[in-house]
């Protein structure tokens, strides 16, 4: 059974160390699930070839599960989302193969009212099958 | 299809048409499935309350996507959302409306295109700003 201090130490050790790349084969179903999850119409996001185009906020979900996976393994921890920044460079369409490069860029530690609190900054870069940068997402997670 | 917005139409200080969403618990389940965010504070009331939350809360990123939707609905098919930045400042609870709105801050033409800067936010039922942020869009010019 791992405890919160072990998780905190592990997170700090991983600062600056790239997470193994994550590959997504984006198909219509993946975009459809995203559209349904945000209550969007799937007719608006279709191109002339019948392919679904991902809304610009789609990259927010890429790699997110890996980002918080280990943190979720300690039930006593509270995990909150501090902020999100998204820069979008190229559209993503069904049929794309995306590679996610994720890294913890900074960890700050502070003693809060509820004990030790970590502020973890993540950077998540997304490239398409032509190795073109499609988006950069920066996330702040707060755990205590 | 929404009306196309053009750079020439933009007046700094003008409001962005609001987008109001009322996600229920099922919507949170759909978001969890699509995003992989299975943090129990979004589906387990007892767990959420044990962590000093008022109950199950809406995923912050879902509300951020609602802000994105407000913008893409407003700018039309030929507009592009280039940047979106939000800070999560409060909680939204399922079954209550989230009102997304914003205002045009500035417009300028540079090498990236016809840029329009926005201030955006989301409010809960009590009028509290639960998300605040900024965005940049690129708009086409009229032929």
Select the residue from B1, B21, B34, B78 to test the A interface by mutation, using most A Cβ atoms within 10 A. Answer: B34
Residue A68 has pLDDT above 90, yes or no: no
CA nearest to A34 within chain B? B34
The answer, for A75 touching chain B at a CB cutoff of 8 Å, is yes
Residue B39 has pLDDT above 60, yes or no: yes
Which position has the higher pLDDT, B119 or A51? B119
For B7-23+59-138, give the CATH class.
alpha beta
User: What is the pLDDT at residue B9?
Assistant: 95
> What residue spans define the domains of chain B?
7-23+59-138
The answer, for A12 touching chain B at a CB cutoff of 8 Å, is no
Q: 3-state class of B56 per DSSP? A: coil
Instruction: Tally Cβ neighbours within 10 Å of residue B22.
Output: 14
Candidate from A28-37, A66-75, B13-22 with smallest mean pLDDT: A66-75
Do B57 and B49 form a contact (C-beta atoms < 8 A)? no
CA nearest to A136 within chain B? B83
Spacing of C-alpha A7 from chain mean position: 19
Candidate from A69-73, A81-85, B50-54, B74-78 with smallest mean pLDDT: A69-73
Gap between the Cα atoms of A38 and B27, Å rounded: 8
How many degrees, rounded to 5, is the angle at CA A49 between CA A45 and CA A52? Answer: 30
Residue A1 has pLDDT above 60, yes or no: no
Instruction: Tally Cβ neighbours within 10 Å of residue A27.
Output: 13
Q: Secondary structure of chain A in the HEC alphabet?
A: CCCHHHHHHHHHHCECCCCCCEEEECCHHHHHHHHHHCCCCCCCCECCCCCEECCCCHHHHCCHHHHHHCHHHCCCCCEEEEEEEEEECCCCECCCEEEEEEEEEEEEEEEECCEEEEEEEEEEEEECCCCCEEEEEEEEEEEC
User: What is the pLDDT at residue A43?
Assistant: 77
pLDDT tier at B128 (50, 70, 90 boundaries)? very high
Q: Would you report the helix, strand and coil content of chain B in percent, each value rounded to 5?
A: 25, 35, 40
- Any idea what DSSP says for residue B41? G
Gap between the Cα atoms of B94 and B43, Å rounded: 10
User: What is the pLDDT at residue A72?
Assistant: 64
Q: Report residue A39 as tokens.
A: 């209550």
Q: Report residue A89 as tokens.
A: 């460079």
pLDDT tens, residue by residue, A101-141: 999 999 999 987 778 899 999 999 999 999 999 999 999 99
Residue B138 has pLDDT above 70, yes or no: yes
User: What is the pLDDT at residue A7?
Assistant: 77
- Any idea what DSSP says for residue B3? P
Residue B1 has pLDDT above 60, yes or no: no
Residue B13 has pLDDT above 60, yes or no: yes
| Helix B25-35 × helix A28-37 angle, to 10° | 150
Residue B118 has pLDDT above 80, yes or no: yes
pLDDT tens, residue by residue, A8-67: 888 888 899 999 999 999 999 999 999 999 999 867 898 888 889 999 999 999 988 777
Select the residue from A30, A41, A42, A83 to test the B interface by mutation, using most B Cβ atoms within 10 A. Answer: A83
Domains and CATH numbers, chain A: 4-26+58-143 (3.10.129.10)
Do B56 and B41 form a contact (C-beta atoms < 8 A)? yes
Which position has the higher pLDDT, B132 or A10? B132
């Amino acid at each position: 059974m791992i405890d919160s201090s072990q998780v905190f130490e592990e997170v700090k050790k991983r600062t600056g160390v790239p997470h193994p790349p994550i590959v997504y084969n984006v198909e219509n179903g993946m975009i459809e699930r995203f559209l349904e999850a945000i209550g969007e119409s799937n007719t608006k996001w279709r191109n002339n070839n019948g392919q679904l185009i991902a809304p610009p906020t789609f990259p927010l979900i890429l790699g997110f599960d890996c980002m918080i996976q280990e943190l979720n393994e300690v039930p006593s921890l509270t995990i909150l989302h501090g902020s999100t920044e998204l820069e979008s460079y190229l559209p993503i369409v069904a049929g794309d193969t995306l590679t996610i490069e994720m890294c913890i860029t900074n960890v700050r530690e502070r003693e809060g009212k509820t004990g030790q609190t970590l502020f973890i900054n993540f950077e998540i870069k997304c490239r398409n099958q032509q190795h073109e940068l499609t988006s950069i997402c920066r996330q702040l997670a707060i755990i205590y | 299809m929404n009306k196309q917005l053009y750079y020439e139409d933009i007046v700094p200080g003008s409001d962005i048409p609001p987008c109001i969403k009322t996600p229920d618990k099922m919507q949170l389940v759909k978001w969890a499935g699509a995003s992989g965010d299975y943090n129990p504070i979004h589906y387990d009331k007892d767990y959420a309350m044990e962590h000093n939350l008022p109950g199950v809360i809406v995923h912050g990123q879902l509300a951020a996507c609602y802000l994105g939707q407000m913008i893409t609905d407003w700018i039309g098919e030929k507009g592009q959302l280039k940047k979106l930045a939000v800070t999560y400042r409060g909680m939204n609870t399922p079954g209550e409306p989230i009102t997304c709105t914003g205002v045009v801050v500035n417009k300028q033409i540079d090498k990236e295109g016809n840029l329009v800067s926005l201030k955006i936010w989301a409010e809960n039922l009590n009028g509290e700003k639960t998300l605040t942020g900024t965005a940049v869009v690129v708009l086409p010019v009229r032929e």
